[in-house]
A and B are shown apart, each in its own frame.
Chain A
Amino acid sequence: MASDTITAEEYISHHLTNLTFGQRHDGSWGLAHSAQEAADMGFMAVNVDTFGFSLLLGVLFMFVFRLVAKSPTTGVPGSLQNFVEMVVEFVDDNVKGMFHHKNNMIAPMGLTIFVWVLLMNIMDLVPIDFLPEAGKLVGIHFLKVVPSTDVNITMGMALSIFVLVIYYSIKQKGIGGFAAELSLHPFGKWGLPVNLFLEVVNLLAKPISLGLRLFGNMYAGEMIFILIALLPFWAQWALSVPWAIFHILIIVLQAFIFMVLTIVYMAMAHDDH
Chain B
Amino acid sequence: MNINATMLGQIISFAIFVWFCLKFVWPPLIAAMEERKTKIADGLDAADRAMRDLELAQNKATDQLKEAKQEAAVIIDEAKKRASQIVDESKDKAREEGERLITAAQAEIEQEANRAREELRGKVATLAIAGAEKILERSVDDAANRDLVDQLAAQL
Residues of A within 8 A of B (CB): 16, 18, 20, 22, 38-39, 41-47, 50-51, 54-55, 58, 61-62, 65-66, 68-70, 72-75, 84-85, 88-89, 92, 104-105, 107-109, 111-112, 116, 150-153, 155-157, 159-160
Contacts and interface: CB of A to CB of B under 8 A. Distances in A.
B121 to A, nearest CB: 116
7 contacts: A22-B4, A51-B9, A54-B13, A62-B21, A108-B22, A109-B22, A157-B14
Interface of B: 1-11, 13-15, 17-18, 20-22, 24-26, 28-33, 35-36, 39
Contacts of A73: 32
Contacts of B3: 43, 151-152, 155
A72 B21 contact: no
Nearest to A54: B10
A258 B32 CA distance: 27
A151 B25 CA distance: 28
Contacts of A68: 29
Contact of A104 (B2, B14, B22): B22
| Interface residues of B, dominant DSSP | helix
A43 B5 CA distance: 6
A73 B4 CA distance: 44
Contacts of A22: 4
B108 to A, nearest CB: 96
B44 to A, nearest CB: 16
10 closest residue pairs by CB, A with B: A156-B10, A72-B32, A152-B6, A108-B26, A108-B22, A156-B7, A108-B21, A152-B7, A69-B28, A74-B35
